[in-house]
Amino acid sequence: MRIFGVTGWKNTGKTTLMERLVSEIISRGLSVSTIKHAHHNVDVDQPGKDSYRHRQAGAQQVILASANRWALMTEMRGADEPPLAALLEKLAPVDLVLIEGYKRNDHPKIEASIAPSKRELIALTDPTICAVAAGYDPDGLTQPVLPINDIAAIADFILMEVGLG
């Protein structure tokens, strides 16, 4: 599977860019999966639901299944967070996996930056960032800068980078 990341600081447009890229790339006939890294305690389950109660009782893993989707929830119970490579192994084969976050991993990425910020662009010091998708004209970059709202151009760039263009 080919992988490509979307990274950036908090509130810089990463999730909106991811959403728009998934739609654009699948409209071109390619299959896409995503991985989203969260730095906070996240729970896709709801208190009081049966699957939640199974986890609270101590189950290591719970599969919630229906006719429309299924989800596998794994409780870490003090274990280390799994590395990105281990999570990628759990995905069914697709043409492209888009990864949101994981800014310090070594896969190729595009940095999202909707507006200038007090924080320095990650691209200035991170060689894994191949381009910046920006809503302004950032200074000092050696990487290409693509307009953040030109989703077709960003998708073209990513697909060329991963060999699907």
Q: What is the mean pLDDT of the chain?
A: 94
Contact between residue 11 and residue 115 where contact means Cβ atoms under 8 Å apart: no
Could you read off the pLDDT tens digit of each residue along the chain, which spans 165 residues? 999 999 999 999 999 999 999 999 999 999 999 999 987 777 788 888 899 999 989 899 999 999 999 999 999 888 999 999 999 999 999 999 999 999 999 999 999 999 999 999 999 999 999 999 999 999 999 999 999 999 999 999 999 999 998
**Where do the domains of the chain lie?**
2-42+80-161
- CATH among 3.30.700.30, 3.40.50.300, 3.40.50.2020, 3.40.50.1100 for 2-42+80-161: 3.40.50.300
Contact between residue 35 and residue 25 where contact means Cβ atoms under 8 Å apart: no
Contact between residue 99 and residue 3 where contact means Cβ atoms under 8 Å apart: yes
Beta bridge partners of 74: 61
In the chain, alpha helices (H): 14-27, 50-57, 84-88, 151-161
pLDDT tens, position by position, 144-159:
999 999 999 999 999 9
CA 128/CA 63 separation, integer angstroms: 35
The pTM for the full model equals 0.92
